[in-house]
A and B are shown apart, each in its own frame.
Chain A
């Protein structure tokens, strides 16, 4: 068992780490819920803030939630029947290859008709091509197609957006078409299946949003450009003067160091320590080839020693400031970080910046690396804390006592193996 105060500190430290992790997980789950929902089937509606779209944008607006009119369904039924007839006619006089193609298309549809949500693009393009042979669906009024309706030669290119747009209205009864071909049932299903996969590229942002968003980015750009100008310099002088006056009117005897500043300096010193150590290891592992390099190495080590000495001196100063100033702690012990540690940003950092990725794999690599770096940083911090708390325990506990071995084993596992593996201790009995 560990002593109470040590336990409290260590448990608190580990629980902080767990909480931070849990918070990230929560945020991720939130985003995951939203993304998963978007990839399922849903009904798109343009927000009501959008005024009634003009006729020229009609073709690109995603299909509204209402069912297609009876009239249109009937027309498409007729169209389908005509096409089926045409297929039969064509089949009877065509080569085997063509029949094979038509059959494979049909069987493809049969296989996928089960889930309306995953209409293959072939089906939509099939319907699209059929519809595009007729007039635009809004005014679909004739079925002229019999001889030309076969899809094989008429598959529109996938990138042909205008056709797809027109085909979009027709794909609504798409599932109905397929059902006809398979089940030959009279009533088309025509569910309003919208999936991002098929019809995502048809979405168009509403005008109000576009205006607001472009104004937003324009304003942010203006924001960053006004950071440097004459009037700002005058304001800066006025501000400095004001701060001076504030300081002079106060009766405070303080040395001017705030707790936030101390914390910031401690962070810098921590960074300094690891950089200095890294440099030292580099020097020690290098093999000097000649006396010049040897001398260089010696000077570097001495220089590092001098810098470390200065850092230690700064630590003493900070210690004195903390002790003498009676600095009060921040309430929750963590808030100071919220005071923008990212202050090192300068120009154009306020306007939106982009992160470009080219494939999902790349994005996943990036995200995984980022998490790994954060995890390593946390592990290093925990390692240092555990070292500081546990080693004194091991040295002060009686080695001959019963719990010492248990403690050593646990300490080894925590500190040297990251808690993943355990060593075994055997008594080395002399062979008598």
Chain B
């Protein structure tokens, strides 16, 4: 279907390609000019730095607040650091071509390879959508609901000096106490923020031009207090609108771009087939893998310890039952199979809390008001309460297990009384 369409438009393909590339470059944050793309096809060195910077911007996490709308923030690292980060990021995502890793660190070469890398990222997932959602202008008030938001807005952390040398365990206790205290502070501050938001929302009731929203948000009220800030907000809105329109154009013209990328790929020399060995570095993820492995192993042991005796007892009792037994047996097996399949789907297909993902604008609306799109806070509270109960149960179980283990270890030194603290 698409091919037929393209053949008919072959004459227009010449015009469609620049349009597509222009749309792409406008949609991308820090997008280079279409000329850079053209030069990259011929692997011209002058196109390389812009593409390194583009990939860096695309692959690195964003700074904390979206207020810094400028693509080149004052703290962006030097080109070499960007090159390094881009290489390791692509590698970690599984970029299939080795040529990228072999490009020089000073960022002077390899524009064609970078162009291929960009196309690879675009082809793999909804890259543009994610980038646009990342930098989205937030007009409403939000409380961060899902973990991903809280993490994504954390931004790059400042380097921290590691504690060298042995540490007293009391230091750990102190750190835990500090953490508890910080959480308490956090909850108090959050309560205050909610109260203030509630006030602002009630005081600006009926002001919003959009009836379904009804009241102003903090950002919108700020428009009145700080006209300069309001101007900037307006500018950001308008540039986002321009980017969204460019994205829509891009999606109409995509095919042309992919045809062109085929030719770019064709222009590359084939890679040599002998693999070069890269130095082995222990991964950070390995320790997480080990943790999970240990947990699963422990669980497996427990299950075996529980299931085997029951099976033995069952076999001993259930001998000599008639043919109607096998039918019942089969029915049970099927039922259990279905239940377990549902259980498996629960973790394979992602969270049950799917509806809490994504930013949501807070809107104050009277309880009696009629429905309409939007998630009710009461529902979410219910979901969160059950999650809280579940997590408390898990934590309680872990702590009980620890207690049992400690009791066992304490047996190594008899003749002591272990007096538990009150309230246990």
Can you spell out 11 A-B residue pairs with CB atoms less than 8 angstroms apart? A31-B193, A48-B231, A206-B223, A206-B230, A249-B268, A292-B332, A337-B148, A341-B147, A362-B378, A376-B392, A417-B399
A370 CB-CB contact with B under 8 Å: yes
> By the criterion CB–CB under 8 Å, are A8 and B275 in contact?
no
Q: Which residues of chain B from 100 to 143 have any CB-CB distance to chain A below 8 Å in the complex?
A: 116, 119-120, 122-126, 129-130, 132-133, 137, 139-140, 142-143
Report B31-74 CB contacts with A as 1/0, cut-off 8 Å. 00000000000000000000000000000111011000000000
Q: From A202, A206, A425, give the contact of B416 (CB < 8 A).
A: A425
B208 CB to nearest A CB, Å: 7
Q: Lowest 5 A-B CB distances belong to which pairs?
A: A258-B94, A234-B2, A354-B374, A360-B198, A200-B203
The tally of residues in B whose CB lies under 8 Å from a CB in A reads 227
A272 CB-CB contact with B under 8 Å: yes
> By the criterion CB–CB under 8 Å, are A301 and B310 in contact?
yes
> By the criterion CB–CB under 8 Å, are B293 and A315 in contact?
yes
Q: How many of chain A's residues touch chain B, expressed as a range?
A: 35 or more
> For A279, what are the chain B residues with a Cβ–Cβ distance below 8 Å?
343
Cα–Cα distance between A331 and B86 once the two chains are bound (Å): 10
> By the criterion CB–CB under 8 Å, are B347 and A341 in contact?
no
A104 CB-CB contact with B under 8 Å: no
Cα–Cα distance between A356 and B225 once the two chains are bound (Å): 26
Extra contacts besides A21-B182, A203-B216, A358-B377 (15): CB < 8 Å: A11-B172, A14-B175, A31-B218, A161-B206, A197-B199, A250-B96, A272-B347, A273-B296, A284-B306, A305-B307, A312-B300, A354-B374, A355-B380, A365-B381, A399-B412
Cα–Cα distance between A39 and B222 once the two chains are bound (Å): 11
Q: From A368, A395, A421, give the contact of B421 (CB < 8 A).
A: A421
> By the criterion CB–CB under 8 Å, are B410 and A408 in contact?
yes
> By the criterion CB–CB under 8 Å, are A419 and B418 in contact?
no
Residues A340 and B337 in contact in the complex (CB < 8 Å), given A235-B251, A417-B421: no
Report A203-235 CB contacts with B as 1/0, cut-off 8 Å. 111101110111110011011001000111011
> For B337, what are the chain A residues with a Cβ–Cβ distance below 8 Å?
303
Q: Which residues of chain B from 300 to 358 have any CB-CB distance to chain A below 8 Å in the complex?
A: 300, 302-304, 306-307, 310-311, 314, 328-329, 332-333, 335-337, 339-340, 343-344, 346-351, 354, 357-358
Number of A-B contacts (CB under 8 A): 639
Cα–Cα distance between A380 and B399 once the two chains are bound (Å): 10
Q: From A335, A354, A416, give the contact of B61 (CB < 8 A).
A: A335
Interface centre among B262, B328, B421 (most CB of A within 10 A): B421
Q: From A28, A203, A243, give the contact of B190 (CB < 8 A).
A: A28
A429 CB to nearest B CB, Å: 8
SS of A interface (majority): helix
Report B287-304 CB contacts with A as 1/0, cut-off 8 Å. 011011111110110111
Report A372-416 CB contacts with B as 1/0, cut-off 8 Å. 111111011011110110010011000110001111101111111
A87 CB-CB contact with B under 8 Å: no
> By the criterion CB–CB under 8 Å, are B191 and A276 in contact?
no
B75 CB-CB contact with A under 8 Å: no
Report A267-298 CB contacts with B as 1/0, cut-off 8 Å. 01111111111111100100000001011111
> For B303, what are the chain A residues with a Cβ–Cβ distance below 8 Å?
280, 301, 304-305, 308
> For B187, what are the chain A residues with a Cβ–Cβ distance below 8 Å?
368, 371-372
